[in-house]
Amino acid sequence: LKKYTYEEISKHTSKENGIWVTYKDSVFDITDFINNHPGGKDKIMLAAGKGIEPYWDIYKQHTNNESIVNDILNPMRIGFIKEYDKNKYNNVNDPYIKDPTRSSDLNYHSVTPCNAETPLDEITNNWITPNDLWYIRNHNPVPNIDINKYKLNISSTSNDYIFTIDELKKLKSKKIITTMQCGGNRRNNLNDYKKTSGTLWNIGAISTAEWKGVPLRDIIIQKGLLNDKIKHVQIEGIDGVKASIPIEKVMNIYGDVLLAYEMNGEDIPRDHGYPLRIIVPGHVGIRNIKWIKNIILSKEEAEGTWQKGISYKGIPHYIDDVNNINIDDIYLHRQYIINIDDIAPIQEMPIQSCITNITKSHDEIIAKGFAWSGGGRGIIRVDVSFNDGKTWKMANLKEGRGQPFNKAWAWTFWEAKIDIPKDKVTVCCKAIDSSYNTQPEKQETTWNIRGLNNNSWHKIKYP
């Protein structure tokens, strides 16, 4: 039997790579077992990639029953832990232990913190993504919030107001449907060209929901919080993640920035921001801060890596020496290589489209996918090629076409067909938005060291 490092074990959190857990000094591959777990296949995912001891401390039925280890766990043993630390899970104070239960159908990149994609073959089955299939991108453990103690603070240079959820729910509400996409979606594809840093998302860090909440604009107007010094609205989450958005977006009557308390007709699930999250339609995922604690109207952008720092700045493609440039150097020594303050943080995202699946029916093959652009720019066309870009045809636009001008917050689904080809083909797609922006063919000139905003033509080989 092999020996595995803690580091290696921590990478095994998905059905694709195998789901591993450890107990004492042993490593187990539980991929095929999760469907049979009596406590639920989703619950067991919390322990993926690490020790099950902290969970068994809570659910004592496991350790009270020897046959669980002997008859169930041991047959799944694949090896031992290299440099086993027998005290690792003593008196554990695992900050992730109270994370919510999640669908085992998600494609997990990690569980602590949780980074998981909407499963590829489900994306275009639902124009509105069901809550349990939504992608999850957490930087920290999920805050455990007591709704009776929860308060939102909103302040401006002069005034300061506090709201409970009940008070917010009494204000006039609005519902909007938006697609949200992580800035790192499709990073894996940039990495095929040259190494980047961050989670290697495939195309599934994108989902759509109907949100209900109060327009932030209404509160700002009612409370008289605006003055002409204010340029940015900073939003801070209970987990410490913070970001800001321009005041122009918030005060635009068509901007639809919401303080949302419902997602697809339910209280927002804990993973997605319970009890309150800001929804900034058309902007990159990070601006949609979850578990909001503070909103500050300011003349400054938010501090921190997600706004002023390196995390969401589009570093040019010619700053590419990942081996010799420490990414922190760009940040810490602001004048060292480039001045990070001169690079605008990502707000609205560029035009995107992806192929989600290719299926055969009778004598045709059918490619399906989604297209979406930032800033509410609608999709006016999707081009599909079945021969790697030599010739093209127009896809049929399906759900999501014809959304209002500059308020097309949600994605548009599309479909294209050809006769069954004799040989293997490469299918690719590119979309055009209402500003006639389109996608670059290759990653080379949009590649960046952080792996953000990849929107090069998406390609899939068939069969």
Residue least distant from Mo ion (Cβ):
182
Kindly determine how many residues on this chain lie close enough to bind Mo ion according to the rule CB under 5 A: 4
Spacing of C-alpha 173 from chain mean position? 26
Q: How far is CA 90 from CA 84, 133, 359, in A?
A: 13, 34, 50
- Gap between the Cα atoms of 423 and 426, Å rounded: 10
161, with CB counted inside 10 A (0-12, 13-18, 19+), is middle
String of contacts with ligand MTE for each residue 116-155, x by CB under 6 A: ------------------xxxxxx----------------
Binding mask 116-145 for Mo ion (x = CB under 5 A): ---------------------x--------
Are the C-beta atoms of residues 460 and 426 closer than 8 Å to each other? Answer: yes
Q: Which is nearer to ligand MTE, 242 or 368 (CB)?
A: 242
Q: Is 376 in the site for ligand MTE (CB under 6 A)?
A: no
271 vs 383, which CB is nearer to Mo ion?
A: 271
- Structure-token pair, residue 4: 């595995």
Please say which residue, 128 or 460, places its beta carbon nearer to ligand MTE: 128
Question: Closest approach of Cβ 21 to ligand MTE, in Å?
Answer: 24
Identified catalytic residue from 12, 102, 137, 270: 137
Q: Smaller CB distance to ligand MTE: residue 31 or 199?
A: 199
Question: Starting from the edge strand earliest in sequence, which strands make up the sheet with 136-137, in order?
Answer: 107-111, 114-117, 136-137
| Residue 62 falls in the annotated catalytic set | yes
Active site annotation includes 37: yes
Is residue 353 within 8 A of residue 430, CB to CB? The reply is: yes
> Is 450 designated active site?
no
Binding mask 215-254 for ligand MTE (x = CB under 6 A): ----------------------x-x-x-------------
| Cβ neighbours of 422 (radius 10 Å) | 6
47, 116, 182, 351: which one contacts Mo ion (CB under 5 A)? 182
- The minimum distance between CB 284 and Mo ion, in angstroms, equals 7
Query: Based on CB atoms, which residue is closest to ligand MTE, 209 or 315?
Result: 209
C-alpha R_g of the chain: 23
Minimum distance of Mo ion from residue 391's CB (angstroms) = 36
Site for Mo ion in 263-302 (CB under 5 A): 285-286
Alpha carbons 193 and 457: distance in angstroms, whole number = 13
Q: What angle do CA 117, 118, 119 make, to 5 degrees?
A: 105
Among 260, 276, 289, 340, binds ligand MTE (CB under 6 A): 289
Chain-centroid distance, C-alpha 108: 11
Of 4, 55, 150, 312, the active-site residue reads 312
Contacts of residue 399, defined as CB under 8 A and 6 or more positions apart, other chains included, come to: 127, 412, 413
Sign of CA dihedral 290, 293, 294, 295: positive
**Which residues in this chain contact ligand MTE in the complex, by CB under 6 A?**
134-139, 182, 237, 239, 241, 271-272, 285-286, 288-291
- Catalytically active residues are 37, 62, 137, 182, 312
